[in-house]
A and B are shown apart, each in its own frame.
Chain A
Amino acid sequence: MSDETLLAERRNGAPLRAKTGRSGLESRQRHAKARAASSFSGFAYWATIVFFFMPLVVLLVASFDKEKGGEWSGFSFIWYVKLFTESGELWRAFGNSALIAFASALTATVLGTLAAIGVTWYKFPFRGYVRTLNFLPMILPEIVIGISLLVFFAGVGLKLGLVSIYIAHATFNLPFVFLMVSARLDEFDYSVIEAARDLGASEFQTLMKVIVPMSMPGIASGFLTAVTLSLEDFVITFFVTGPGATTLPLFVYSAIRFGVSPVINALSVVMVAGTVALILPLRNYLKYIAAK
């Protein structure tokens, strides 16, 4: 309905109620139209999109550039070929990163989940303090965690290398898993646990058949977050790494110091593509379990 017809209606003495009595759907459609027509919000939307994706587009273009350097010198797959055939060291670093990400995320998920369950559902002294202390590694600057872990490893005499990186990553990932699982557990009623016990489940059966499956969405997102955080961590890893234990971020950093090799561009594009391929089907799965 246009403003003219509305005005005409009012002039004709149509009751005001007729105007507000429009169905919700109709008024929502009107709002949608108004939003699309507003030039500022449309501009902001597109500016955001461009801002987010422009660097990726530049990266994509650069990875197909024949020559290293700013100017476009022709399309080529040369850097992709180099990435897959002549970059053994890069792939070793990638392998290290993947291994550490998986292992540390798994460790953090198991420990963080158990900690969250314990703190949420069992009563013990100083429960509140334990809960708060658990968040400390999330708030502390990474550099502090890096230094303290380094001092700790030196103190216990652990040789720096993949193992120390794995322990460090599991440590800083734990609070994230703890937080996500706790948030999930807080939504549930304690009586489901009593119900399980009432129906004949032992404590262990209750844990495995009720508590863990019920918190699965929190556990899954905690695990994914842990993998991501581990893959991209630089500062803490830098402190606790040892000879030969190079992760992908460390490798890329050292490579960049000698000028950005377009191989890195190609690697980045491959990683973006890999992540998208991984997330799209997983996203539906996550939505599905979260809906339950």
Chain B
Amino acid sequence: MNGSDVTISRVGKSFGSFAALDDVSLDIRKGEFFSLLGPSGCGKTTLLRILGGFEVPDEGTVAIDGVDVVGLSADKRRTNTVFQSYALFPHLSIFENVAFPLRLRKVPPKVLSSRVKDYLALVQLEAHADKMPAQLSGGQKQRVAIARALINEPSVLLLDEPLSALDAKLRQHMLVELDSIHDKVGITFIYVTHDQGEALSVSDRIAVMNQGKVLQVGPPHEIYEDPATDFVARFIGETNLFRGAVVRSEGLLATVAIPEVGEVLVTTDDPVPAGSSVSFAVRPEKIRIAAQKPAAARKDLNVVKGAVDEPIYSGFQTKFYVRTEKGVTFKVFKQHADYSDKGPEIKWRQEVFLSWSAEDGTLVEVARP
């Protein structure tokens, strides 16, 4: 079994006057676990349906291993889909559901039976072969759908929010399982989700979408640490994001003036000239929170004074909402790395100092003058 490259170029699709996809181009590599991530209604399913052959794009082309597939119907493509609603055949047993593609191809009974058993084993459902879909739990149905989609040995597996109907615990478990299935079969997975946590944890690369457009494509850490737009910064994880302007620039160190915060130092990948308008972002887990003002040993340390508005304790960490003197709120995560039976040292209403170094912040949406 081998994966395929999928090349999407300049694809557009409208429903009436509504543009569901607008000039989408993506290069998905052979064997990659690629996620389409975006809020509900951003066009992920539409793009996946175009890849599967259920929808025809108005513009642009889709090529699998360099061959244009836009004119091919779903049954003629080497793609298979795991539907959000599972779409199991209710009148067929689990065995027959998985055997369905092989029966269509008139595979001899002996071969068929052993193949179906192999694929049921892959998703750990050997014991349930004779049950009907209605007798299975949601997670089990999802696994049948995966086995059924894989038995044809497609070169691309399309998954449309396959875990969204499962409860949180099971979702985590299935995600790990999906990842290991991907490692075993080695084909290209294109995974649609609106859950950034899911996408970050299993993907080789992620395309973040909004309103029919692709905003950024990259590996999870790049999407997280270097968001290309304000939307991406806000959509992936939590962040503190402010609009401001660069007032001084010395090599790769820029000073950004933010009206609600003051002057902030930040290192950049490329020199950003003074006068650029930018968004400044710093993740809550990168900010230290302390009752005392940090010793000014480092000149690239940013310090902001504020008061705790709301501490939210959740065992492994506490999330603080800290209101600064100028009236903006910072989110700060403090990990509880060491055992403590005294409870939090920083309390509600307490005056605190927030600090982070210039490397911990990042500039988003830089508009040079």
Report A's interface with B, CB cutoff 8 A. 188-189, 191-192, 194-202, 205, 209-210, 213-214, 216, 292
B85 touches A189 (CB 8 A): yes
Chain B residues within 8 Å of A, Cβ to Cβ:
52-54, 73-75, 79-81, 83-85, 87-92, 100-101, 103-105, 132, 134, 148-149, 152
Q: Is the beta-carbon distance between A192 and B134 smaller than 8 angstroms?
A: no
- Nearest-CB distance from A86 to chain B (Å)? 49
Please, which residues of chain B bring their CB within 8 A of the CB of A198? 52-54, 74-75, 79-81, 149
13 residue pairs from A and B, CB less than 8 Å apart = A189-B85, A192-B88, A192-B89, A197-B53, A197-B54, A199-B80, A202-B75, A210-B89, A213-B91, A213-B92, A214-B89, A292-B132, A292-B134
Chain A residue, CB-CB nearest to B49 = A194
A191 and B87 contacting across the interface, CB-CB below 8 Å: yes
B148-A199 in contact (CB<8A) = yes
Chain B CB within 10 A, most for which of A189, A198, A200, A216: A198
Q: Report the Cα distance A188→B134, complex, angstroms.
A: 13
How far apart are the CA atoms of A198 and B83 in the complex, in Å? 10
Tell me whether B152 and A200 are in contact (CB under 8 A).
yes
Contact of B152 with A199 in the complex, beta carbons under 8 Å: yes
Q: What CA separation (Å) do A188 and B90 show in the bound complex?
A: 9
Q: Is B89 a contact of A200 with CB atoms below 8 Å?
A: no
CA–CA, A217 and B132, complex, Å = 16
A194-B87 in contact (CB<8A):
yes
What is the distance, in angstroms, from A44's C-beta to the closest C-beta of chain B? 37
Closest-CB distance, B341 to chain A (whole angstroms): 38
Could you tell me the distance between the alpha carbons of A213 and B53 in the complex, rounded to whole angstroms? 25
Asked if residues A214 and B91 are in contact (CB atoms below 8 Å), the reply is yes
CB distance from A287 to the nearest CB of B (A): 15
Option from A191, A199, A213, A214 in Cβ contact (under 8 Å) with B85: A191
Q: Residue among A195, A205, A292 with the most chain B CB within 10 A?
A: A195
Interface pair A200/B75, CB less than 8 Å apart: yes
A5 to chain B, nearest CB (A): 44
Which of chain A's residues have a CB closer than 8 A to the CB of B87?
Answer: 189, 191-192, 194-195
Q: How far is the CA of A86 from the CA of B134 in the complex (A)?
A: 55
Chain B residues, Cβ within 8 Å of A194: 54, 74, 81, 83, 87
Given contacts A194-B54, A195-B81, A195-B83, contact A200 B91 (CB under 8 A): no
Instruction: Find the B residue at minimum CB distance from A194.
Output: B54
> Given known contacts A194-B74, A200-B75, what 10 new A-B pairs fall within 8 Å (CB)?
A191-B85, A195-B89, A199-B75, A199-B80, A200-B152, A213-B91, A213-B92, A216-B91, A292-B91, A292-B134
- Are B85 and A200 interface neighbours, CB within 8 A? no
When distances are taken between beta carbons in the complex, the residues of chain B under 8 Å from A292 are 90-91, 132, 134
